[in-house]
């Protein structure tokens, strides 16, 4: 994924939250997979080390048995394709995307007054205390929370929950079905991992038939599937600054820099991305 932001840009959440989280997950996954693979051979160096240190037989036996138990767990995880690692990463990835979009909408409403003229915002009712006791940032966060309740965004699946928030801020992000499908799967798989302990429920089976999951079966996330989710999240995040309407000041700044109005330019690159 490659997109660029200025330090005070409304798109900053996609760097601060999403991009940073993706890079951290990439690195952590590699460390965990290598560590687990090396743990499979742990009993041999533990045995050798006990001999070198002349560890008492009883203590040495306990250390070797513990090492064998860890090696068995590591071997089982390897045979499952490191599914536990990719399942945890899947949940964190979806959570990062949710938070990034939410924070983006909060900043957008704060910096673009014309975005507050949508029908959804016209129906929102706020307490007087929200006007007097909250900071500007807290106030707009409260507004986004009200948007979520007004549109029932938290009950929607996949990108529909983001569409509800974005459209309330007068932002339209057209996305092809080829991108919507993996993001729908990501949201539903993440939901099943968190709330169903990885068991395939009717909601997941019916929402994502292309995954060919059997209801009440156990779901595992492979490396390939996780990487597809990861790429889809990056591609979706890049769509938002490319298609979101630009504010008046942004248009003037872009025009002065020789760029066409409405063209968002975002300079951030993920590790490993090719230009």
Predicted confidence band at 245 (pLDDT cuts at 50, 70, 90)?
low
Report yes or no: 261 and 255 within 8 Å, Cβ to Cβ. yes
Rounded Cα distance, 112 and 168, in Å: 13
**The pLDDT value given to residue 132:** 75
How far is the CA of 141 from the CAs of 93, 157, 202, 226, in angstroms? 22, 22, 34, 31
Number of Cβ within 10 Å of residue 25's Cβ equals: 20
Euclidean distance between CA atoms 234 and 44, whole angstroms: 42
Helix axes 160-168, 136-151, angle to 10 degrees: 130
30 pLDDT more than 50? yes
Q: What is the mean pLDDT of the chain?
A: 82
Tokens 């999403």 correspond to what residue? 18
Q: What is the DSSP letter of 124?
A: -
Q: Hey, where are the domains in the chain?
A: 12-39+80-256
Has residue 4 got a pLDDT over 70? Answer: no
CB 218 within 8 A of CB 193: no
DSSP assigned state of 50: H
Mean pLDDT of 243-249: 52
Whether the predicted pLDDT of 32 surpasses 50: yes
Residue that the structure tokens 């306990």 belong to: 62
Q: Are 139 and 194 in contact (CB under 8 A)?
A: no
Better-predicted residue by pLDDT, 256 or 73: 73
List, for residues 102-157, the tens digit of each pLDDT value. Answer: 999 988 888 888 888 888 888 887 777 767 777 877 888 888 888 888 888 888 99
Is the pLDDT assigned to residue 247 strictly greater than 60? no
Task: Return the structure tokens found at 266.
Answer: 């975002």
CA distance 233 to 226: 11
* Inter-CA distances, 243 with 52, 112, 237, 265, Å: 65, 15, 11, 11
Work out the average pLDDT over 240-259: 53
d(CA 158, CA 97): 11
Quick one: average pLDDT of 70-87?
A: 93
Of residues 219, 186, 245, the one with CA closest to residue 22: 186
Helix (H) or strand (E) holding 2, with range, is none
pLDDT band at 89 (very low <50, low <70, confident <90, very high): very high
Which of the two residues, 43 and 158, has the higher pLDDT score? 158
pLDDT at 28 over 50: yes
| H or E, element range at 129 | helix 128-133
pLDDT in tens, 63-78: 888 888 999 999 999 9
Q: What angle do CA 37, 48, 82 make, to 5 degrees?
A: 10
Report yes or no: 77 and 84 within 8 Å, Cβ to Cβ: yes
pLDDT at 261 exceeding the cut of 80: no
């Amino acid at each position: 994924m490659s997109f660029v932001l200025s330090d005070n840009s409304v798109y900053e959440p996609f760097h601060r939250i999403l991009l940073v989280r993706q890079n951290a997950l990439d690195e952590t996954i590699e460390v965990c997979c290598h560590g687990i693979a090396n743990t499979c051979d742990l009993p041999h160096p533990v045995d050798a080390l006990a001999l070198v240190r002349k560890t008492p037989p009883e203590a040495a036996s306990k250390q070797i048995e513990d090492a064998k138990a860890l090696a068995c767990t590591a071997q089982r995880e390897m045979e499952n394709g490191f599914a536990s690692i990719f399942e945890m990463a899947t949940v964190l990835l979806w959570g990062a995307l949710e938070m990034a979009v939410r924070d983006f909408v909060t900043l957008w409403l704060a910096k673009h007054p014309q975005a507050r003229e949508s029908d959804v915002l016209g129906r929102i009712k706020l307490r007087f205390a929200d006007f007097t006791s909250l900071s500007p940032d807290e106030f707009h966060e409260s507004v986004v929370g009200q948007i979520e309740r007004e549109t029932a965004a938290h009950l929607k699946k996949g990108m529909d929950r983001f569409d509800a928030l974005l459209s309330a801020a007068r932002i339209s992000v057209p996305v092809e079905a080829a991108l919507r499908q993996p993001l729908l799967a990501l949201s539903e798989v993440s939901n099943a991992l968190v709330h169903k302990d990885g068991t395939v429920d009717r909601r997941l089976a019916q929402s994502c038939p292309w995954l060919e999951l059997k209801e009440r079966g156990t779901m595992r996330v492979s490396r390939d599937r996780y990487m597809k989710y990861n790429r889809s999240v990056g591609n979706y995040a890049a769509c938002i600054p490319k298609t979101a309407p630009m504010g008046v000041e942004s248009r003037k700044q872009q025009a002065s820099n020789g760029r066409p109005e409405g063209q968002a330019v975002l300079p951030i690159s993920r590790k490993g991305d090719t230009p």
